[in-house]
Amino acid sequence: MLNIAICDDEKYICDFLKKSVTDCLAKADLEGSISVFDDGQPLCDLYKEGKASFDLILLDITMKKCDGMTAAKLIRSIDSKVMIVFVTASAEFVFSGYEVRAFRYILKPELLHGFSGVFRECLEELTKSNEVRFTFQKASETVSVPLRDIIYFESDKRIINIVTANEEYSFYGRLNDIEEQLKKQDFVRCHQSYLVNAKKIASIKVNELTLTNKKTVPVSKRRAKETNEAFLWAMR
């Protein structure tokens, strides 16, 4: 869940940004909470009270009461990690953004055509710094593997085998539980015994698929449609 703040004193800009953020999150299959502020002061107050926990702030620079640069300096003095993107009508104050380590800026006249690209960069940076991992217990050891490295899970009775490009792991578990845990990630249950990373599928035939490590995995008839759709979505 990403927590995103929009702060601008022009309502139509706030409305546009909120809809655009919602659309971009949906396209990326990510969940997010969006808070809207029409001035920098209420946003600053949340930080002063220790009640703010935003991952990203889309912040107007020129607002009538508490301007964005003042707000950004206060916020940065409290939170060194939050990503700040300035949304401004003029490039006049852009270089001042270096003082508060702004990630990007975007001019309001370019919002319609440029926002999705800037927001995509934000998501890439945020997800990179918050890498999703799969954690499991193996005997007395806790093991954590980056989800993007996993090619597939294989169920062999009560044993789950995890295969990556460089290593393999085994532990006791149920593939049904792992499928439920990863339902919002790029994994698809192509067969009763296999849960594969759709981004690691190299090709698909009628009743089997080939993964990037050259492993051939069966595709059951009842799971073929879902598997094909997951492959096409992952390749978008």
152 class by beta-carbon count within 10 Å (0-12 exposed, 13-18 middle, 19+ buried)? buried
Average confidence (pLDDT) over 128-149: 80
Percent with pLDDT over 70 in the chain: 95
Beta-strand pair 159-164/56-60: unpaired
Q: With 90 as the cut, is the pLDDT of residue 125 above it?
A: no
**Residues whose CB is less than 8 angstroms from the CB of residue 51 and which lie 6 or more positions away in sequence, other chains included:** none
Q: pLDDT tens, 154-183?
A: 999 899 999 998 899 999 999 999 999 998
3-state DSSP percent of the chain in helix, strand and coil, to 5: 40, 35, 25
CATH number of 2-129: 3.40.50.2300
Q: Which tops the pLDDT comparison, 116 or 141?
A: 116
- CATH 2.40.50.1020 location in the chain: 134-234
Find the DSSP H helices in the chain: 11-27, 40-48, 68-78, 111-129, 175-181, 224-234
Q: Which tops the pLDDT comparison, 236 or 72?
A: 72
Structure confidence at residue 14 as a pLDDT band (50, 70, 90): very high
Q: pLDDT tens, 61-79?
A: 888 888 888 999 999 999 8
pLDDT of res. 130: 61
Q: How far apart are CA 90 and CA 105, in angstroms?
A: 10
Q: What kind of architecture, by CATH, is found in domain 134-234? A: Beta Barrel (2.40)
Say what the pTM is.
Answer: 0.57
Q: How far apart are CA 75 and CA 160, in angstroms?
A: 45
